[in-house]
């Protein structure tokens, strides 16, 4: 069997993926390795036969796909986070990553690690695969600098588990009330609801004035005035006896109902003789990447978008909401314009399974060229962003732009997730097969044990200090601080755990605001560690 794998690299890839996802699906105390199981499958197979390898192009391709698709999805959210709060969070993350790099250098000298091993310890303890890739590229064919994959693999599991333990114990120590934090942040994990309200008194301001004055995160849908059904307009002024529908979370809807009147038993949506509603897929590239304000949707069709469903979550839209391929919009429209509105959005599930290979390849090409460009450093040396860094920066830029004229840079949500997972799996399979023999030799040795303990200390201190400084000193809500820590670790499993603990979307806010900076910083700092450790520092 092993000889077949030596002679058939294509078969090897899928055997490693199969075994890796089996390993990754095993749960122990609620924790599983997930996609990282592919790395350990590669290490295992390589340890059995060192001749089983893959061409470097396999894991470089996988890394480029993984990082670029993440960056495309994060670009817009990252730009939105560049406010005062976002800058504070990113400053915290950068400070902790630099401190962790200094601690790693000291630990590498204390344990007698080679430069490559020291950099791998940093990437593994902070669970950053692209940082490992940057180190591997920087080492190239040099001998005697140590294999970073070995220390990465030893430190990686506790790099995930240790952070989860830090969240668990510190939330107890700080006596965090996640429910109260969610209410203070105006976040809710509840599904959106629609409620018809019977207005009890004339209102002095327009609907737009009411929303701004009361800061209601809701949307008005239909309005019935003297028996005539119409779409609610921002300039409408409510009169006593009007019936108006409001869309939002249950708590927000109750608040609006209490302020305007009383619940009306009969839903306005039940009458579809004049206005109809429909869920429509956004598959038209000319619509995606544009804000609702830019589309002039209401003026063009006399219709209103009352909800946008992205993934498994409903969003109350506003003029700044940017539509993405794969979104499902709920539209309230005059009956005679239903088909016209449907054609406008596309509503083609088939098109959502396709990507524009022209713009996708153009973006990746630009990222790889940027990554190969040598950046001079003091002392006459040069530095390269590599496959990961270049793809990340270009992906963030294009993701933030969304589109340039007729060129749409983003790709459908489902296609993005598929390419992301496949790219990560290819990379982990490739690097795992590089280092199985060295990993097997180290894992049972005293030095292997010291590497493991060093990783535990590095992960634990970084995680605990990030949460303590963020929550206690910077007064970041703990639920958001867990997302900041997840972003610092750049690990989706940690984000998933934080989401389970908080029961709301606050961790995603913290994660999206720091993830790109953390990713870039770790790619650069891991190579800085390699350079400084090579100089004997």
Closest CA to 284 of 327, 321, 315: 327
Whole-number Å distance between alpha carbons of 134 and 105: 17
Per-residue pLDDT at 207: 87
Predicted confidence (pLDDT) at residue 346 exceeds the cutoff of 90: no
Query: By mean pLDDT, which of 148-152, 356-360, 382-386 is the weakest?
Result: 382-386
Whole-number Å distance between alpha carbons of 510 and 498: 11
Work out the end-to-end distance of the chain between its first and last CA atoms, rounded to an integer number of angstroms: 46
Per-residue pLDDT at 93: 95
CB 403 within 8 A of CB 409: yes
Per-residue pLDDT at 186: 62
Give per-residue pLDDT as tens, 425-455.
888 788 778 766 666 666 667 777 888 888 8
Query: By mean pLDDT, which of 278-287, 379-388, 408-417, 509-518 is the weakest?
Result: 379-388
Query: 193 CB contacts (<8 Å, ≥6 apart)?
Result: 247, 248, 249, 250, 253
> What backbone torsions phi and psi does residue 329 show, to the nearest 5 degrees?
-100, 140
- Distance from CA of residue 160 to its chain's centroid? 16
According to DSSP, residue 325 is labeled T
Whole-number Å distance between alpha carbons of 173 and 169: 6
With a pLDDT cut of 70, the percent of the chain lying above it is 91
- The average pLDDT across 19-36 equals 74
Name the residue with higher pLDDT: 97 or 53: 97
Give per-residue pLDDT as tens, 167-191.
888 988 988 888 777 767 766 555 7
Predicted confidence (pLDDT) at residue 100 exceeds the cutoff of 90: yes
- The average pLDDT across 143-152 equals 82
Whole-number Å distance between alpha carbons of 441 and 423: 28
Whole-number Å distance between alpha carbons of 492 and 73: 14
Query: 276 CB contacts (<8 Å, ≥6 apart)?
Result: 332, 333, 334, 335, 338
Closest CA to 366 of 395, 345, 328, 337: 395
CB 134 within 8 A of CB 523: yes
- The average pLDDT across 338-346 equals 88
Band (152; pLDDT cuts 50, 70, 90)? confident
Band (467; pLDDT cuts 50, 70, 90)? very high
Supply the DSSP string of 232-284, one letter for each residue. Answer: --TT-B--TT-EEEEEE-HHHHHHHHHHHEEE-SS-GGG--SSEEEEEEEB--
CB 56 within 8 A of CB 420: no
Q: What is the CA radius of gyration of the chain?
A: 26
Band (363; pLDDT cuts 50, 70, 90)? very high
CB 433 within 8 A of CB 45: yes
Name the residue with higher pLDDT: 283 or 6: 283
Band (41; pLDDT cuts 50, 70, 90)? confident
Name the residue with higher pLDDT: 308 or 460: 460
> What backbone torsions phi and psi does residue 188 show, to the nearest 5 degrees?
-150, 140
Predicted confidence (pLDDT) at residue 537 exceeds the cutoff of 60: no
Closest CA to 131 of 117, 119, 142, 115: 119
Predicted confidence (pLDDT) at residue 164 exceeds the cutoff of 60: yes
Tokens read off for 67: 């990082």
What element of type H or E holds 48? helix 37-48
Name the residue with higher pLDDT: 375 or 457: 457
Whole-number Å distance between alpha carbons of 537 and 531: 9
CB 134 within 8 A of CB 59: no
Per-residue pLDDT at 457: 93
Predicted confidence (pLDDT) at residue 204 exceeds the cutoff of 70: yes
Predicted confidence (pLDDT) at residue 353 exceeds the cutoff of 70: no
Per-residue pLDDT at 536: 62
Predicted confidence (pLDDT) at residue 99 exceeds the cutoff of 90: yes
Give per-residue pLDDT as tens, 206-245.
888 888 888 888 888 888 887 788 888 888 888 888 888 8
Closest CA to 416 of 327, 309, 294, 293: 327
Please state at what angle helix 129-139 crosses helix 386-401, rounded to 10 degrees: 130
> What backbone torsions phi and psi does residue 92 show, to the nearest 5 degrees?
-60, -45
Predicted confidence (pLDDT) at residue 107 exceeds the cutoff of 70: yes
Per-residue pLDDT at 24: 78
Q: 189 by DSSP, 3-state: which?
A: coil
Per-residue pLDDT at 371: 85
Give per-residue pLDDT as tens, 73-82.
777 777 776 7
Q: How many Cβ atoms sit within 10 Å of the Cβ of residue 445? A: 10
Per-residue pLDDT at 382: 67
């Amino acid at each position: 069997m092993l000889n077949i794998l030596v002679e058939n690299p294509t078969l090897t890839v899928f055997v490693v993926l199969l075994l890796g996802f089996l390993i990754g699906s095993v749960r122990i105390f609620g924790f599983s390795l997930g996609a990282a199981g592919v790395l350990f499958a590669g290490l295992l197979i390589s340890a059995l036969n060192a001749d089983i390898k893959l061409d470097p192009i396999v894991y470089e391709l996988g890394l480029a796909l993984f990082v670029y698709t993440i960056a495309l999805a994060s670009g817009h959210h990252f730009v939105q986070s560049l406010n005062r709060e976002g800058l504070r969070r990113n400053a915290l993350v950068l400070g902790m990553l630099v401190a962790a790099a200094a601690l790693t250098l000291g630990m590498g000298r204390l344990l007698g690690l080679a430069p490559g091993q020291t950099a791998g310890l940093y990437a593994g303890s902070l669970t950053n695969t692209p940082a490992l890739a940057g180190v591997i590229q920087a080492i190239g064919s040099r001998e005697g600098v140590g294999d970073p994959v070995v220390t990465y693999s030893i430190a990686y599991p506790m790099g995930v588990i240790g952070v989860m333990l830090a969240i668990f114990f510190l939330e107890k120590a700080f006596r965090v009330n996640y429910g109260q934090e969610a209410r203070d942040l105006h976040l809710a994990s509840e599904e959106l609801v629609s409620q018809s309200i019977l207005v009890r008194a004339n209102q002095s301001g327009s609907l737009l004035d009411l929303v701004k004055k009361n800061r209601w995160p809701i949307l008005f849908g239909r309005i019935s005035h003297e028996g005539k059904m119409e779409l609610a307009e921002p300039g409408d002024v409510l009169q006593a006896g009007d019936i108006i529908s409001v869309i939002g979370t249950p708590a927000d809807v109750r608040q609006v109902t209490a302020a305007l009147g009383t619940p009306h038993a009969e839903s306005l949506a039940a009458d579809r003789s004049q206005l109809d509603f429909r869920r429509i897929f956004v598959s038209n590239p000319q619509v995606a990447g544009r804000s609702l304000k830019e589309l002039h949707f209401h003026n063009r069709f006399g219709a209103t978008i009352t909800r946008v469903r992205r993934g498994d979550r409903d969003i109350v839209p506003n003029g700044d909401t940017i539509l993405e391929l794969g979104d499902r919009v709920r539209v309230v429209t005059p009956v005679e314009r239903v088909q016209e509105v449907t054609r406008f959005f596309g509503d083609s599930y088939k098109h959502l399974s396709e990507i524009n290979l022209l713009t996708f390849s153009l973006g990746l090409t630009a990222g790889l060229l940027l990554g190969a460009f040598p950046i001079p450093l003091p002392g006459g040396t040069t530095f390269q962003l590599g496959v990961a860094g270049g793809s990340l920066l270009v992906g963030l830029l294009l993701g933030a732009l969304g589109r340039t004229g007729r060129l749409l840079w983003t790709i459908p949500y489902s296609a993005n997730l598929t390419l992301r997972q496949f790219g990560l799996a290819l990379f982990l399979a490739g690097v795992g097969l590089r280092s199985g023999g060295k990993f097997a030799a180290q894992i049972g040795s005293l030095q292997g044990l010291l590497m493991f303990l060093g990783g535990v200390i590095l992960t634990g201190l970084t995680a605990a200090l990030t949460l303590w400084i963020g929550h206690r000193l910077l007064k970041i809500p703990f639920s958001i601080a867990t997302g900041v820590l997840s972003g610092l670790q750049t690990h989706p499993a940690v984000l998933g755990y934080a989401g389970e603990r908080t029961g709301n979307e606050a961790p995603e806010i913290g994660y999206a605001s720091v993830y790109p900076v953390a990713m870039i910083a770790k790619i650069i700092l891991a190579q800085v560690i390699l350079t400084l450790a090579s100089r004997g520092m």
